[in-house]
Structure 1
Amino acid sequence: MAWGAAVVTLLGGLVGCSSGDADGAGEKPREATWLVGPDRPKTMKGKAAWINGNAVVRVRSDGAAAYDLTNGRPLWTHTVPAPQIVCTVAEHADQGVGLIGQGLEDEPCDRVTAIDLATGRALWTRRLARTAIPGTNYYGVIEAGAGSALVPVAGRVRALDLRTAKARWTWTPPRGCAFTAEDSAMAAGPDAVVATFRCGRKAAKVAVADPARGRTRWVADLGVGAKFDAAEVLSVSPLVVRVKEDGERSRDELLTFDAKGTRLGAIPVSGPEGDLDLDLGDFTRRIAVGGDRIHVAAKPPGARLLEQDLLTFDLTGRRLWRSTFEDGVTSLALAAGGLTVLAQDPGDPALLIALDPATGKPVRKSWLRYDVNVSCRMFVAGGRHLMVNAGASTQSVPAIMAF
């Protein structure tokens, strides 16, 4: 496995960036503390990333590797057996364990492996009984949470012990419904497991279960019709679900629910506020949900080529504020009560902008030394901003950059 080598470096002056103030926010240059070079071979693709203690773990086509947050020192690598690839990933790790799905490229993704994130060792691998995830790069069909590995089994959701794979419970879907890898999704938090289910040809539902026993707490109809395409879980607490239909007069909305299953609001993905940037084809995220706020990038009507807005809504769907970025929004992260946006005009250094999440006003700006891949996931951990390449590699874009 030819993972890029970590380079500990102090980088020189910035090239092609301006100085001065913008809206009262001082722009301070930031240099990379360490980086991991571009993937080789260049056919590799980034699939996911997790933070585990003082390490960042990046998953790519042929496995996973961990690096020390402080200095980028390689800690371990895990390689899936050739010619298999990583074909799906649990978005979150839990209790020091991450889950990957693996299978032959362009064939069903039919195995799940649990990785000990302290050592890179495979704890177990299980074939998905009577269930195989079609194709590759499906997300939301396996998940780790509340001490369980959640996997689809014959239209139901089964919980396995994260470290031993011992069966804990099986969640029976609502009557007439099934979990289907093509259009359902699951997610988990410490206090709840959430899944969306297809219910025949013209209906879909979202349900929440007790993570200890898999018993249904409540079920809500998603109000779809015959053109139902998919329902994605974007946040567990608060619960935010994206519902998509096909067709010229189809619905595409973010639906929000309270802890009892009452629908609170709906936000159109394409509407008067603009087109929300929710293409989750890789693990890039331009949406952050926290507390009672939804922060999401959007292309406003009549915008220039790269221009994007960052919109913040409450859970009723009411817009609270709008902030415009001429160079677009590459990624955003919500951590420790702070909201950070990564923006970049291709060919220019990237810009980190810290915003007041209550108002959207800039608090601090700083330029970065490197270009950043437009398919980038940003994490804030260990006092650092981590830019993890979420797409295919290039000659120049590192797999990970730490600032």
Structure 2
Amino acid sequence: MAQDHSGTAGQEPVGYDYQQGWYPTQEQPSYGEQGYGYQDQQWQSGMPQQREPEQYQQQPAAGYEQQLYAPTGYQEPQPYEPSYQPSAYQPQSYEPPVEPAPAVAEPTPGPAPVTDPVVEAAPVAAARVRKVSAADRLKDLAASVISGEHAPGKRALLIRAGAGVAALAVLLTAGVMVTADRSEGEAAGSPAEIPKTFTVAHAKAWAAEPATAPAAGADDTLVGSWLLGDAVVRADSTGVHAYALADGKPGWTLAPPVEGAVPCGLSPTVGPTGLGAALFRVSADPKSACTVVSAVDTKTGKAAWSKPLSDTKDAYGARVAVLEDKVVAVGDDRATAWAAADGKDLWTYGGQGKFCTLSGGASGKTVVLHSTCADSVPADQAVALNAADGKLQWWRGLNNQPKTVSVLSAEPAVVLTTGAQPADDRIFAWGATGDPAAEIPVTAEGGRLGVTRGSFDATPTVFFDGQTLLTTQTGADGSHPAAVAYDLTTGKPRWRTQVAEKGKSVPVGVENGALLLAGDERLDQPAHLTRYAVTDGRATAGGGYPQGTGSLLTSGRVLTGGGKVAVLPEHSANFGVAAAFQAKG
């Protein structure tokens, strides 16, 4: 798994010094600009002594007296000394957050009141979806009328019963589901809240065939996708191909920047001007370097410009993102930004130590990296850069000695660390200034969180809505999953809703204030999507997909928009390169 690593911000690079691990013209960071206000530091007896602003000397920030991470900023890289002793602001041993008593539900701040922040097993069982037959509904209606204090006459009863059956037929056709924990008057969601792509039933609009026949033995793994206004785009080893959103017919194909190059990644999103970015390997060998960046005009499918990220011939991994006016790529040894319009070099960051290894990604105005340098203490660090100029915003040491580190998101800043045992795996999140905000165990009493792939992956398993993390939790024994949400400012769960449907369910996106979970087709249920409100986890069951859809919805990337649900399977050999569904009616 790729590791994240950090360094210092720089000016326009003149030449990269591979012995020193930085560009000679880079400015060293001023720690007076960091969130914790470090102004300088002096070296005494081989260890850094940090001088804090007056307000931090008098009174530490409330709630951060014992944090896993504390700044250990330095101006010059120094080798680790065994005699090093922690200063006053070195990390303290982490104390896990005390779980609230099961019988007491703690309210969670949010745009809407949450009556059950964490739904436990008993309420979940009561909340399972119950289908109501027309006969049962009619029986209940008749019983309620006859038992009333002022019961109508027989003729009026028959008229009312007939009207009730007609109304019920309309409701059932519309796919209204009644849940046991809702009152009759509660609505599952108004038309304004539920988009057209999420309705009662869907018909298959088209299934796309490959634009070109794949070479024998070619890797068919999805490396990225885009949903445009009139097309859906798939990237794998055969190339970057567009298919018309209306009928799935092949559109443009992006020419590789050099002969024999194959795609190894796409930017998660397309910029405001319709510019996307693709990464290419120099050859079809999956171990070859992923080092060439091409800016793509998605209207024409032509490359606006191409740039090398590195000249290495060895294995090299990278991620690329398109921000408002720039393209940012993070490679194994540097992060680089170019002007989106013409590819002009803007900045390069090589780490703030020697022989640094980096990984991560960018979104909004921030680049978040995992950094490991030969002389950094601690070895693993989370680093945030200003995307505008590449300068260091803040960094925090990862003192839990992780086995691997993966950056899940840049805004909000979230990383996943794994340890020697599954119980050691943690999610860490920070605020905009690097303040430690949350630590979430991946494995807890309720099971394990599905957070293996983040925002920069071709098929994410965890999603973010503001300061809310959304994913699924599966029991330790692989039992039935639940949809879950965590508050990244506190690390506490906001809600947990057991999945009512049978079979496999995976998160596929966030749409109009709701987490979307896709479910497999079974003998007793069609393939489907279910919405879970971000605010309180309330489930709204989606409509069915055609018989024969099988596990297509859970096999890759699901994108919604333009009145269609587009599905790009992770492996084209299983379900083809792309398919689209449209709501009936």
Q: Give the structure 1 partner of residue 496 of structure 2.
A: 322
Q: Give the structure 2 partner of residue 15 of structure 1.
A: none
Q: Would you say 1:265 and 2:444 are equivalent positions?
A: no
My pick for the range that moved more, 22-31 or 106-115, is 22-31
| Residues 308 and 90 (structure 1), Cα distance of their counterparts in 2 relative to 1, 3 Å cut | same
5 Å-filtered alignment, 1:1-400, equals: 21=177, 23=179, 28-37=200-209, 40-41=213-214, 43=218, 44-80=220-256, 83-95=260-272, 96-104=275-283, 105=285, 106-131=287-312, 134=315, 138=317, 141-152=319-330, 155-175=333-353, 178-180=356-358, 184-189=359-364, 191-200=365-374, 203-225=379-401, 228-229=403-404, 231-245=405-419, 247-248=420-421, 251-280=424-453, 283-304=458-479, 307-315=480-488, 316-325=490-499, 326-345=502-521, 349-369=526-546, 370-373=549-552, 374-394=554-574, 396-397=575-576, 399-400=578-579
Residue aligned with 1:286, SS: coil
> How many angstroms does 1:270 deviate by?
2.2
Alpha-carbon distance in 2 for matches of 1:270, 1:65:
39
Structure with higher RCO (Cα < 8 A, 6+ apart): 2
Task: Look up the equivalent residue of 2:309 and give its one-letter code.
Answer: L
Alpha-carbon distance in 2 for matches of 1:87, 1:260:
33
Alpha-carbon distance in 2 for matches of 1:323, 1:61:
38
Task: Look up the equivalent residue of 1:29 and give its one-letter code.
Answer: A
Whether the aligned pair in 2 keeps the contact of 1:37 and 1:400 (CA below 8 Å) is no
Whether the aligned pair in 2 keeps the contact of 1:100 and 1:114 (CA below 8 Å) is no
Identity between Structure 1 and Structure 2 (%) = 22
After superposition, the C-alpha distances for 1:220-240 in whole angstroms (9 at most, x for unaligned) are: 222242x532x3222222222
> How many angstroms does 1:132 deviate by?
5.9
Task: Look up the equivalent residue of 1:84 and give its one-letter code.
Answer: A
After superposition, the C-alpha distances for 1:26-77 in whole angstroms (9 at most, x for unaligned) are: 9822112333246853843321112334432211212112234344344311
My pick for the range that moved more, 33-42 or 330-339, is 33-42
Whether the aligned pair in 2 keeps the contact of 1:131 and 1:152 (CA below 8 Å) is no
> How many angstroms does 1:250 deviate by?
7.5
| Residues 194 and 169 (structure 1), Cα distance of their counterparts in 2 relative to 1, 3 Å cut | same
Task: Look up the equivalent residue of 1:265 and give its one-letter code.
Answer: A
Task: Look up the equivalent residue of 1:402 and give its one-letter code.
Answer: F
Whether the aligned pair in 2 keeps the contact of 1:55 and 1:68 (CA below 8 Å) is yes
Task: Look up the equivalent residue of 1:188 and give its one-letter code.
Answer: S
| Residues 92 and 116 (structure 1), Cα distance of their counterparts in 2 relative to 1, 3 Å cut | same
Alpha-carbon distance in 2 for matches of 1:295, 1:61:
31
RMSD after superposition? 3.0
Alpha-carbon distance in 2 for matches of 1:187, 1:90:
10
After superposition, the C-alpha distances for 1:274-311 in whole angstroms (9 at most, x for unaligned) are: 1222333962222110122111122123443xx22211
> How many angstroms does 1:345 deviate by?
4.6
> How many angstroms does 1:399 deviate by?
1.9
Q: Give the structure 1 partner of residue 88 of structure 2.
A: none
Alpha-carbon distance in 2 for matches of 1:297, 1:262:
27
Alpha-carbon distance in 2 for matches of 1:244, 1:172:
25
> How many angstroms does 1:79 deviate by?
4.1
Whether the aligned pair in 1 keeps the contact of 2:177 and 2:541 (CA below 8 Å) is no
Task: Look up the equivalent residue of 1:329 and give its one-letter code.
Answer: S
Whether the aligned pair in 1 keeps the contact of 2:423 and 2:443 (CA below 8 Å) is no
> How many angstroms does 1:129 deviate by?
2.9
> How many angstroms does 1:120 deviate by?
0.9
| Residues 251 and 91 (structure 1), Cα distance of their counterparts in 2 relative to 1, 3 Å cut | farther
Alpha-carbon distance in 2 for matches of 1:255, 1:128:
29
Residue aligned with 1:330, SS: strand
Alpha-carbon distance in 1 for matches of 2:551, 2:423:
35
Q: Give the structure 2 partner of residue 402 of structure 1.
A: 581
Residue aligned with 1:110, SS: strand
Alpha-carbon distance in 2 for matches of 1:249, 1:176:
31
Q: Which runs of 5+ in 1 are unaligned?
A: 1-18
After superposition, the C-alpha distances for 1:112-142 in whole angstroms (9 at most, x for unaligned) are: 222211111122233333446726xx5x633
After superposition, the C-alpha distances for 1:164-214 in whole angstroms (9 at most, x for unaligned) are: 22101123533457243xxx222222x222222113385222222222211
Task: Look up the equivalent residue of 2:555 and give its one-letter code.
Answer: S
**Greater strand percent: which structure?**
1
**Greater helix percent: which structure?**
2
Whether the aligned pair in 1 keeps the contact of 2:453 and 2:462 (CA below 8 Å) is no
Task: Look up the equivalent residue of 2:565 and give its one-letter code.
Answer: H
Alpha-carbon distance in 2 for matches of 1:146, 1:171:
19
Residue aligned with 2:271, SS: coil
Residue aligned with 1:45, SS: coil
Alpha-carbon distance in 2 for matches of 1:353, 1:155:
41
Give the TM-score taking structure 1 as reference length.
0.81
How many residue pairs match? The answer is 372
